[in-house]
Amino acid sequence: MVEVTLKGNPVKLYGSQLAAGQEAPGFTAQKNDLSEYVFEGIAGKRVIFASVPSLDTAVCDMETRRFNDEAVKLPDVEIVTVSMDLPFAQKRWCGAAGVDKVTTVSDHAGASFGRQYGVLIEGGPLNRFLARAVFVVGPDNRLIYVEYVKEIGEQPDFEAIRAALK
């Protein structure tokens, strides 16, 4: 069981945590243009899923901007940030932040991603938010990197993510 904390206090996550080598679960979410985003695997392509509590927090803002910058160096990788923010808030944030290379999707309707990837927070001040985590899916639809960030207020390990993509 993965241990995740918020300011040092344990956070309970709903669902089973995933590990490298497993098949990436499918899920449905909503894009910021209100269309449906369905992931059922993308044969031959690599994908990074970054779950964050909210784009309207400093750490999530920094992380998503960093992934947007990294996207230039990773043209063959789709980068998707998933949060519980409403699609309207995601669209506003992307416009204000100049983020245009990362796809943002909202898990607000059914928490499909949160449940499938084991990042849906149960209870406490972040109830029904998503924990900070990164999942890299390889071209065979298997997870090649999984990181549940131990302290929600910290950034993921960008060096390890880059190394997994090589």
Residues 53-92 as b or e (16 or more Cβ within 10 Å = b): bbbeeebbbebbeebbebbeebeebbbbbbbbbebebbbe
Residues 67-104: pLDDT tens digits? 999 999 998 999 999 999 999 999 999 999 999 999 99
Residues 122-132: pLDDT tens digits? 999 999 999 99
- Domain tally, the chain: 1
> pTM for the full model?
0.96
The pLDDT of 26-32, averaged and rounded, is: 96
Q: Which of 6, 47, 60, 80 is catalytic?
A: 60
Structural domain range at position 26: 4-165
Is residue 43 predicted with pLDDT exceeding 80? Answer: no
CATH code, 126: 3.40.30.10
Q: Is residue 60 annotated as part of the catalytic site, yes or no?
A: yes
pLDDT at 101: 96
Q: What is the mean pLDDT of the chain?
A: 95
